[in-house]
């Protein structure tokens, strides 16, 4: 955990601001940004099954990078679960990517204690996190039904706030564009 704590900051602040792009000085230059396609990846879930981001095509995905040792990550998880339960039927999927090196040994007890029902994937070598430029935790990407990053949230967020729910609802209400209609 020591190396990850050094490489990854854990945002001790609480994000109440609107979705935004953060200063690029904190992230790798190739970080996907708002308006760009979300890079696909393949990681193992809690049951040892390989899961790809593309498996959620047609859904709005909140892609959250987190760790069990990150205090702000732990704080925002119950609100994420509440959001997931209330908006899953509308097409929302939350994909929580844990960067814990110990994998299910630490995420399974955490999931059970928190009562989390959304998928938890494991990025133990932090390759996907680096691809997304997640240098601080938590970091969340809202990805639309076409696979385009629509919102980027740096730090923890109160996912039960009217602002957060409104932002996700807007992405959920967007029409699904046929490939010929996209720019």
Note the pLDDT tens digit of each residue in 144-163.
999 999 999 999 999 999 99
- Span 118-123, mean pLDDT? 98
7 or 42: whose pLDDT is higher?
Answer: 42
Active site residues: 73
Query: Which pLDDT value is given to residue 30?
Result: 64
Weakest-pLDDT range from 8-12, 76-80, 121-125? 8-12
Query: Which pLDDT value is given to residue 174?
Result: 85
Average pLDDT of the chain?
85
- Span 88-96, mean pLDDT? 97
Pairing of strands 60-66, 139-143: antiparallel
Q: What band does 167 get if pLDDT is binned at 50, 70 and 90?
A: very high
Residue among 180, 168, 183 nearest 59 (CA): 168
Task: Give yes or no for residue 9 having a pLDDT over 70.
Answer: no
What sections of 1-150 are H helices per DSSP?
2-7, 71-87, 104-114, 127-131
Measure the CA–CA gap between 135 and 146, rounded to whole angstroms: 25
Task: Give yes or no for residue 39 having a pLDDT over 80.
Answer: yes
136 or 28: whose pLDDT is higher?
Answer: 136
Long-range contacts of 67-71 (CB under 8 A, 24+ apart): 67/4, 67/8, 67/10, 67/98, 67/99, 67/100, 67/137, 68/98, 68/100, 68/106, 68/107, 68/110, 69/1, 69/5, 69/10, 69/100, 70/10, 70/137, 70/138, 71/10, 71/12
Measure the CA–CA gap between 38 and 56, rounded to whole angstroms: 12
With contact defined as beta carbons under 8 Å apart, do 97 and 65 qualify?
A: yes
pTM: 0.82
Q: What band does 27 get if pLDDT is binned at 50, 70 and 90?
A: very low
């Amino acid at each position: 955990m020591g190396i990850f704590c050094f490489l990854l900051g854990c945002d001790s602040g609480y994000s109440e601001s609107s979705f935004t792009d953060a200063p690029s000085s904190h992230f790798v230059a190739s970080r996907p940004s708002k308006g760009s396609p979300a890079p696909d990846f393949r990681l193992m879930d809690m049951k040892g099954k390989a899961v790809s981001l593309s498996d959620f095509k047609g859904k709005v995905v909140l892609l959250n990078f987190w760790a069990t040792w990150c205090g702000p990550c732990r704080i925002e998880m119950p609100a994420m679960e509440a959001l997931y339960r209330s908006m899953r039927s509308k097409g929302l999927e939350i994909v929580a990517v844990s960067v814990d090196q110990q994998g299910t040994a630490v995420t399974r007890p955490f999931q059970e204690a928190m009562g989390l029902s959304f998928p938890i994937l494991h990025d133990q070598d932090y390759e996907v996190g680096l691809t997304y430029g997640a240098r601080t935790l938590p970091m969340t990407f809202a990805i639309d039904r076409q696979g385009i990053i629509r919102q980027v949230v740096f730090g923890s967020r109160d996912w039960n706030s009217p602002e957060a729910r409104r932002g996700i609802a807007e992405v959920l209400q967007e029409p699904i564009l046929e490939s010929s209609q996209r720019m």
